[in-house]
């Protein structure tokens, strides 16, 4: 079985690269910190006799030979980049758990039938280069290599330039190596496992998500002399929209409907001015694709209704849509067997967040394993998962990988 | 009768001082532009034989002698400072209408019993030095001279320093001269007169206003994996608050209840993060003081209710309160007689906005005259009042001033 203390030590060592004030990490994609994190991982893996290759968008494939090197490798991994004030676990756990699997096999001189690959996907967070999961998306053919290399950060630096600068512009074609299957361990990033007292989430798929930009254009006016009934208040309209959408989602007793207004800006705001222009973003999610269609239809109807009621012109643009993903039953089953055989409390669940596994699942049988994180908090320096839960998740990963690689 | 064309020409000439791209004016208080505007006015008034004095907070009193110079003067005026992208009428009309009254009397060699004073109040807008109406407030004893001189703009320049620099740091004691009465002509800054096809608003008082800063503290969380029922969404709570408050105000059929949320900020907003912290401002107004008390009580109850329902900690601070003002019946009556005798369509109305007259009314009998402004728009380069309406308002001002000065 895996060594939980060694896993924890490697997590804490990685967190020292780009440490933040409040105990988190800042390793934005393709920065010197990202490169230093990769280098540390490679040092550890080279010590185990692994070889590695980097593709043209910086995805890193670390290989441990198997008995049948002509077969496609069984893969595990996640990402090492973080949010600007990120935590020590989101992504990193999935990579260092893979390292711990490799070390465990090395300790025991176990050679699997199929080769193993530990993958570090570039720029999962999307904080530096939008969108999220862009390099696993490129690997899976969802984005072209050229478009990915041309994406710019806020300072106008392209993905390609940053990749060269940090030393991870590889030469191997994007899409290689082809994988037999892929397993990603991740913190849940939500509160369910913790609240329910369970250690493992057997992730059966990922809910669908759609992102919208909404603008509301009314008429700015003086707050004092403008009677309520003459107003075309863009913020009052936005409030009505958000409130009705919330009520709609809360009314779904299954809990599967999720709506979020994350950003809202009042243009030229002033305390005694009725807001004329508001911009906001909407994130709609559901685990069933046609329910997501229905949710979008409800949302669009609400936009019209609110626009009319409030005398405000409402426009929207759908800027991203990620369909519902169902992971491969044989991979999910391998994870579930691992959890059951370890005697861990687990639940089958859909992932609420997008992960590299979303895109990888388009080209290889894929599954994910979740472990609880404290208060469901992530994308935050306070992000925390216990050493015991990290070890349990890694053991399940190890078991699934072994089963799959020796089948 | 007054000369409408001459009035209009002087309005357009003043607008050339600090002109903005889209036909408005930028004469922030106590800037070189403000000084140039005052200088132009003084040139015009000196040509009429007027004398002037400036008090220690820069309020400018331009005097036309009467037959009985031992009596307190009858005053008229407003302000010459503008918003950063202000219009050509807000404040300026009240000052230049006063000039037009002085010119009309000079043309006809009319000498009134009481002396007349044309007042330019400093920094009415509050754009450079908060709060609004600060120098008329100081004149009326609502603020101390020292506190006013110490107020700072965004660059840390004090009111006193700016006053010295622009050459209008006067020596006369604040509170002098004492006024027999004060009349302020102003654009309505709302849509009622225009919508109702009326030329004159006989302003009987000013509604009470209270300003609040509100913070809502929930818990930021990932938009994907966090179930709706676990969320403590500060923006959803803010939306509920705004929506309920709007509904409450709209349900008042008298139209006297006014509520505005002018500023709303989501702290560390991100598209796929449930907002943890929101700050917003609330402006409550009513024409009846105890109805305003009731409105505040309703608002406070709503804050608690929304906080509880949404699992969000809500705090509020009342940062300003201006009680309901009732103008002096004899001054209001003089304005109403002026409107009636000119055969103008008029309505008695409360002012929705604060004006220098609010504070002056604490120390002298006061009234105001409103004229319509296009689409009710002010604090905007597009602000517009017709030459005919400006002339009509000025005629009513002239009649009221003459009646009052000769009584
Ligand atoms: N894991 C994660 O934060 N992915 C970003 C896409 C999403 O919002 O789910
Ligand atoms: N006239 C004016 O805009 N005054 C500022 C105070 C208010 O908001 O009414």
Token pair of A168 as six digits: 């991870």
Nearest bound ligand to CA B132? 2
Nearest to A333 by CA among A389, A390, A400, A397: A400
pTM recorded for the entire structure: 0.90
Q: So what's the pLDDT on residue B119?
A: 98
C-beta of residue A188 within 8 angstroms of C-beta of residue A370: yes
Q: How far is the CA of B355 from the centre of ligand 2 (A)?
A: 6
C-beta of residue A175 within 8 angstroms of C-beta of residue A389: no
> B221–A377: do the CB atoms touch at under 8 Å?
yes
| B79 within ligand 2 shell (Cβ under 6 A) | no
For the cut 90, the answer to whether the pLDDT of residue A127 exceeds it is no
Each residue's pLDDT, cut to its tens digit, for chain B (407 residues) gives 999 999 999 999 999 999 999 999 999 999 999 999 999 999 999 999 999 999 999 999 999 999 999 999 999 999 999 998 899 999 999 999 999 999 999 999 999 999 999 999 999 999 899 889 999 999 999 999 999 999 999 899 999 999 999 999 999 999 999 999 999 999 999 999 999 999 999 999 999 999 999 999 999 999 999 999 999 999 999 999 999 999 999 999 999 999 999 999 999 888 899 999 999 999 999 999 999 999 999 999 999 999 999 999 999 999 889 999 999 999 999 999 999 999 999 999 999 999 999 999 999 999 999 999 999 999 889 999 999 999 999 999 999 999 999 99
What value does the mean pLDDT take over residues A66-78? 97
Q: What is the pLDDT of residues B75-86, one digit of tens each?
A: 999 999 999 889
> B239–A246: do the CB atoms touch at under 8 Å?
yes
Q: So what's the pLDDT on residue A268?
A: 84
Task: Please report which confidence band the pLDDT of residue A109 belongs to, taking 50, 70 and 90 as the band edges.
Answer: very high
> How far is the C-alpha of A179 from the C-alpha of A59, rounded, in Å?
14
What value does the mean pLDDT take over residues A57-78? 98
Q: What is the pLDDT of residues A349-373, one digit of tens each?
A: 999 999 999 999 999 999 999 999 9
**Residues of chain A found within 8 Å of residue B189, distances taken between Cβ atoms:** 222, 224-225
Q: So what's the pLDDT on residue A320?
A: 87
Q: So what's the pLDDT on residue A150?
A: 98
Surface of B (295-324) touching A: CB under 8 A: none
* Chain A nearest C-alpha distance from B257 (Å): 8
Q: What is the pLDDT of residues A177-203, one digit of tens each?
A: 999 999 999 999 999 999 999 999 999
Q: So what's the pLDDT on residue A269?
A: 87
B353 has a chain A CB within 8 A of its CB: yes
Q: So what's the pLDDT on residue B270?
A: 87
Other CB atoms closer than 10 Å to residue A199's CB: what's the count? 23
Place of tokens 């994406």: A151
B125 is in an annotated binding site: yes
Mutate to test the pocket of ligand 1, among A29, A121, A132, A376 (most ligand atoms within 8 A of CB): A132
For the cut 90, the answer to whether the pLDDT of residue A85 exceeds it is no
Token pair of B275 as six digits: 């907002």
> How far is the C-alpha of B149 from the C-alpha of A99, rounded, in Å?
67
| A225 within ligand 2 shell (Cβ under 6 A) | no
B225 has a chain A CB within 8 A of its CB: yes
Instruction: Using CA coordinates, name the residue in chain B closest to A252.
Output: B228
**Residues of chain A found within 8 Å of residue B188, distances taken between Cβ atoms:** 225
Instruction: Using CA coordinates, name the residue in chain B closest to A264.
Output: B266
Contacts of A278 (CB under 8 A, 6+ apart): A215, A216, A234, A235, A237, A238, A264, A265, A266, A267
Strands A116-121 and A74-79: parallel
B286 is in an annotated binding site: no
Q: So what's the pLDDT on residue B201?
A: 98
| A355 within ligand 1 shell (Cβ under 6 A) | yes
B79 is in an annotated binding site: yes
């Amino acid at each position: 079985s895996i060594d939980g203390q060694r896993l924890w030590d490697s997590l804490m060592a990685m967190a020292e690269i780009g440490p933040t004030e409040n105990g988190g990490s800042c390793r934005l994609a393709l920065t010197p910190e990202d490169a230093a994190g990769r280098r540390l991982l490679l040092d550890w893996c080279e010590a185990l006799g692994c070889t590695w290759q980097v593709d043209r968008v910086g995805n890193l494939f670390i290989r441990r030979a198997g008995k049948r090197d002509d077969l496609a490798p069984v893969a595990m991994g996640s990402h090492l980049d973080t949010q600007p004030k990120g935590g020590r676990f989101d992504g990193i756990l999935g990579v260092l758990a893979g390292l711990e699997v490799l070390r465990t096999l090395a300790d025991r001189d176990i050679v699997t039938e199929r080769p193993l690959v530990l993958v570090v996907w570039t720029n999962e967070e999307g904080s530096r280069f939008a969108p999220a999961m862009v390099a696993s998306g490129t690997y899976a053919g969802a984005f072209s290599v050229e478009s990915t290399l041309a994406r710019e950060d806020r300072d106008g630096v392209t993905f390609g330039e940053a990749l060269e600068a940090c030393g991870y512009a590889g030469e191997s074609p994007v899409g290689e190596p082809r994988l037999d299957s892929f397993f990603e361990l991740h913190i849940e990033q939500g509160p369910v496992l913790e609240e329910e007292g369970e250690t493992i989430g057997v992730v059966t798929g990922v809910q669908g998500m759609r992102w919208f930009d909404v603008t509301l254009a009314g008429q700015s006016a003086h707050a004092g002399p403008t009677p309520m009934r003459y107003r075309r208040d863009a913020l009052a309209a936005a409030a009505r929209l958000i409130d009705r959408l919330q009520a709609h989602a809360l009314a779904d007793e299954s809990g599967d409907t999720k709506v979020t207004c994350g950003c809202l800006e009042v243009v030229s705001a002033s305390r005694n001015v009725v807001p004329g222009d508001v911009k906001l973003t909407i994130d709609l999610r559901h685990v069933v694709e046609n329910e997501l269609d229905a949710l979008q239809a409800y949302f669009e109807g609400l936009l019209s209704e609110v626009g009319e009621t409030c005398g405000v012109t409402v426009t929207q643009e759908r800027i991203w849509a990620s369909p519902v993903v169902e992971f491969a039953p044989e991979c999910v089953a391998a994870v579930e067997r691992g959890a059951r055989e370890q005697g861990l409390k687990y639940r089958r669940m859909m992932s609420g967040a997008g992960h590299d596994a979303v895109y990888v699942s388009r080209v290889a049988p894929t599954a994910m394993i979740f472990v609880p994180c404290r208060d469901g908090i992530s994308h935050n320096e306070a992000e925390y998962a216990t050493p015991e839960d990290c070890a349990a998740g890694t053991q399940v990963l190890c078991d699934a990988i072994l089963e799959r690689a020796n089948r």
